[in-house]
Amino acid sequence: MATGDRGHAQPHGDGHSHAEGHAHGEGEEMSELSEMALRVRALESILTEKDYVDPLALDRIVQAYETKIGPHIGAGVVALAWSNPDFKARLLANANEAIGAVTEVDTLESDLVVVENTAEVHNMVVCTLCSCYPWEVLGLPPTWYKSAPYRSRAVIDPRGVLGDFGVTLPDDREIRVWDSTAYQRFIVLPERPAGTEGWTAPQLEALVTRDSMIGTGLARQPGRADDDAGGVHDAAGDDAAGARPTP
């Protein structure tokens, strides 16, 4: 469904279209909206007109995802699990309950499962069908997570995909790929980096990247703050991913 007459109307294929997501109208010329933004606006108008949605409620949701909900929530959970064995045990046993107890995430709308990376096993999460993702704890999914190449290759060639993300694991490391659904979603508990003994949870949190909780990355090594591996405080998800290799 190429339209051709808007040069920048490229909703898929790179991270740039996501900048449009932040253009919320005021004073924007229609011509500056991407095709995706136009479609969203059209849908919102129709749904509002028919009274299916409250535009104020929509604004609140968008604002929440822009300012409150993001991978820092997941990072906080991981850091807590690294520093508190009891919490980690509860997290692995019942993630919904454990996360509900320590965050303000009040509706975990589906079964959330935390899978732990160890010296033997590396876990990686995909949704082969669409783009199911633990939004409440990781925020908006990165562009590549929704891409067809990632969704298909993650299962067929997880090691190759990891390589594209700059992650090389020992040959004997088992890689488990978890396929998310609307009913069951996954978050990876990355391995705690060596050399962080005695670190507090807030210190540890800075090492947890979004990608490490999807399993396409590892936690940062201490002393490598310049590492650009999708740190949770770098960007609101998608934009940073635009620069990533496309699996």
Question: So which residues are the catalytic ones?
Answer: 127, 130-132
Q: How far is the CB of 209 from Co ion (least distance, A)?
A: 22
Q: How far is the CB of 187 from Co ion (least distance, A)?
A: 15
- The region, left, alpha or beta by phi > 0 then psi within -120 to 50, assigned to residue 107 is beta
Q: How far is the CB of 57 from Co ion (least distance, A)?
A: 24
Q: Which is nearer to Co ion, 231 or 247 (CB)?
A: 247
Answer yes or no whether residue 218 interacts with Co ion by CB under 5 A: no
> Among 130, 168, 200, 224, which residue interacts with Co ion (rule: CB under 5 A)?
130
Do residues 34 and 9 touch, judged by C-beta distance below 8 A? yes
Give the C-alpha separation, 24 to 37, whole Å. 9
Q: Which is nearer to Co ion, 126 or 219 (CB)?
A: 126
131-190 positions binding Co ion, by CB under 5 A: 131-132
Q: Which is nearer to Co ion, 9 or 177 (CB)?
A: 177
The region of 41-49, 50-58, 105-113, 129-137 touching Co ion under the rule CB under 5 A is 129-137
Q: Which is nearer to Co ion, 125 or 241 (CB)?
A: 125
Give the C-alpha separation, 128 to 131, whole Å. 7
Helix, coil or strand: residue 226 = coil
Give the C-alpha separation, 6 to 2, whole Å. 10
Q: How far is the CB of 135 from Co ion (least distance, A)?
A: 11
Do residues 196 and 207 touch, judged by C-beta distance below 8 A? yes
Q: Which is nearer to Co ion, 42 or 129 (CB)?
A: 129
> Among 127, 140, 232, 241, which residue interacts with Co ion (rule: CB under 5 A)?
127
Do residues 210 and 74 touch, judged by C-beta distance below 8 A? yes
Q: How far is the CB of 11 from Co ion (least distance, A)?
A: 18
Residues in the chain: 247
Residue type, 33: L
Question: Do strands 184-189 and 111-116 pair parallel, antiparallel, or not at all (unpaired)?
Answer: parallel
What is the binding site for Co ion (CB under 5 A)?
127, 129-132
